[in-house]
Amino acid sequence: MAQPRVTILGGGLAGLTLGRCLLQKGIPSVIYDSRPKGAPTRSVFLEPGTYRPLLKVLNIEATEFKRTFGIDIHGRDRTDALQASSATTESWLHVSRTDLERALRKSDGLELEERSEHRLIRATPSQEPSQAAPALDLEFANHHKLRSTLVIDALGTHSALREALLPGIYTLVVEPYAVYNHKKHVEQADYQSKFLTLLNGSTTWTHQPGNPSEPRVHVKLEDHLPSSGSGKPVRMSYTYSRPARVSDNDDPLYKPNRSKSEADNISPEYYKEIDELASVEPIKSNAAIRQLLGQDESAKEEPKGAIKNWLMRTLIVSKQDLLKLLRQYSVAMIGDSVHTTPILGGSGANMAVNDAIELADVIAKHWKSGNITTGVSEFYETKWDEWNNAVQESKWELAALHQPVQPQQTTGAKI
């Protein structure tokens, strides 16, 4: 008889961390993901409560973890990254998700079994009469088919499995904020002379207006410079956000129903708003900020993708539905597929990693007895309130970001 294996749908941070933890515990799994193997992903900030447990998962010391995954400019110069983040293990750490995912896949003599370019398109309860336990028949876009008696949904925000098994029940809420993120590269000399000076040596600067309906601009410079003389430009990002003008009912900057591909289509109205900021203190009196905002060169000429419209999505699957999927189909959910928090104000990557580590413990504990449903039900009992609170808190955090306060400078690391 074939050895049972855990089917993990989704090879993002949740799926890969789970697969890795299970492998360490001697439990076989196969991960299915729609992306090509090793496709690059964006960096994330991890809090100590997340990267400390990851040390054990990767069998690595904290210093080595920071050296290997800490990001500096382009995530390449590890020595600088180490210097920048070694002072304390208690601060948030900016990590290369691409490198972290690579290590979760293969390091320390362990390699995950993964099927890339497998996009799940269908999931139906197995009709096989001889099937004693609940099972799902899964079908992928490349025609691969599979029957599984234990499926983990780590498919993220737009989970196709959630939609297949709970059709039409969950719609992502797009919180009413217009948010635009800019990526910019500047020469090292300009970074030192203009931007670091502008920010008084800090790496972040926030313009928070007195009126909450006005835009908030948050500038985040890279935490550290590439090695001097390397000639590498410094990567910076800034985020422009304001509450949606829902009373107008036609806010040109708030497009909650836009498609994924439309994230790069930036409305001319956006540039108009950015230009209007030029009259606001302290932007008016500071040429460097105006340059950062693209007001003394043409922001319109920035390469496609340099500015992105971010949607602030939230979602939480009810405990009742989680238990239903578990009992009827032997499906467990973790990560963004069960709780989605907005990019600003949320900490989805941290939650995804923690979910995976904890679920692996639960599966390992019940693997031999085969009573995984009981274990996962208990897991939901302990986790669901925490997930729900995190989603609600992320909304408050997002709202708090747009509360009227005096203009200020901050040094926090979180975007």
Ligand X SMILES: Cc1cc2nc3c(=O)[nH]c(=O)nc-3n(C[C@H](O)[C@H](O)[C@H](O)COP(=O)(O)OP(=O)(O)OC[C@H]3O[C@@H](n4cnc5c(N)ncnc54)[C@H](O)[C@@H]3O)c2cc1C
**Which burial class, exposed, middle or buried, applies to 183 when counting CB atoms under 10 A from its CB (0-12, 13-18, 19+)?**
middle
Nearer of residues 188 and 337 to ligand X, judged by Cβ = 337
Tell me the two tokens of residue 66.
């920071």
Residues 28-57: x/- map of binding to ligand X (CB under 6 A)?
A: ----xxxx------x-xx------------
Beta carbon of residue 103, minimum distance to ligand X (angstroms, whole number)? 15
223 binding ligand X? (CB under 6 A): no
- Residue 127 DSSP class: -
| Separation between Cα atoms, residue 125 and residue 356, nearest integer Å | 25
User: Between 5 and 24, how does the x/- string for binding to ligand X read (CB under 6 A)?
Assistant: -----xxxxxx---------
Contact between 241 and ligand X by CB under 6 A: the answer reads no
Query: Is the CB of 70 or the CB of 209 nearer to ligand X?
Result: 70
Strands 151-153 and 331-333: parallel
342 binds ligand X (CB under 6 A): no
C-beta of 293 vs 352, nearer to ligand X: 352
Specify the residue, 13 or 57, whose C-beta has the smaller distance to ligand X.
Answer: 13
Question: Cβ neighbours of residue 153 under 8 Å, at least 6 residues apart?
Answer: 9, 10, 159, 161, 162, 325, 331, 332, 333, 334, 337, 338
Q: Which is nearer to ligand X, 188 or 241 (CB)?
A: 241
Looking at the Cβ atoms of 96 and 157, the one nearer to ligand X is 157
Looking at residue 175, the DSSP 8-state letter turns out to be: -
Q: Which is nearer to ligand X, 119 or 245 (CB)?
A: 119
Task: Check binding of 93 to ligand X (CB under 6 A).
Answer: no
Q: How far is the CB of 121 from ligand X (least distance, A)?
A: 7
DSSP H stretches of helix in 314-410 = 319-329, 348-367, 372-401
Q: To the nearest whole angstrom, how small is the minimum distance from the Cβ of residue 138 to ligand X?
A: 10
305-334 residues in contact with ligand X (CB under 6 A) are none
- Closest separation between CB of residue 64 and ligand X, Å? 21
- Asked if 165 is part of the footprint of ligand X (rule: CB under 6 A), the reply reads no
Residues 415 and 43: their CA atoms lie apart, in Å, by 12
**Least distance between ligand X and beta carbon 403 (Å):** 21
Residues 6+ apart with CB under 8 A from 373: 326, 327, 330
Q: How far is the CB of 234 from ligand X (least distance, A)?
A: 19
CB nearer to ligand X: give 121 or 280: 121
Pairing of strands 29-32, 114-115: parallel
Q: Is 216 helix (H, G, I), strand (E, B) or coil?
A: strand
Q: Which one of the spans 27-35, 55-63, 125-133, 171-179 is the region binding ligand X (CB under 6 A)?
A: 27-35
Q: Which of 4, 5, 8, 3 is nearest to 356 (CA)?
A: 8
Among 289, 326, 352, 401, binds ligand X (CB under 6 A): 352
Q: Which of 374, 325, 404, 269 is nearest to 9 (CA)?
A: 325
Residue 52 vs residues 12, 63, 68, 107, 348: alpha-carbon distances, Å: 19, 11, 14, 17, 17
Nearest partner of 43 among 183, 144, 166, judged by Cα: 183
The least CB distance from residue 116 to ligand X, in Å, is: 9
Closer CB to ligand X, residue 39 or residue 133? 39
Smallest separation (angstroms) from ligand X to the CB of 86: 20
Contacts of 172 (CB under 8 A, 6+ apart): 157, 158, 313, 314, 315, 340
Number of residues this chain uses to bind ligand X (CB under 6 A) = 29
Distance of closest approach, residue 10 Cβ to ligand X, in angstroms: 3
Looking at 347, 357, 375, 384, which residue binds ligand X (CB under 6 A)? 347
CB of 13 to ligand X, least distance (A): 4
Q: Following DSSP, what letter does each residue of 15-57 receive, concatenated?
A: HHHHHHHHHHTT--EEEE-SSPTT-----EEE-HHHHHHHHHH
Report the site for ligand X in 120-149 (rule: CB under 6 A). 120
Which positions from 103 through 122 interact with ligand X, judged by CB under 6 A? Answer: 118-120
* 70 near ligand X, rule: CB under 6 A: no
Residues that bind ligand X (CB under 6 A): 10-15, 32-35, 42, 44-45, 118-120, 154-157, 160, 335-336, 343, 347-350, 352
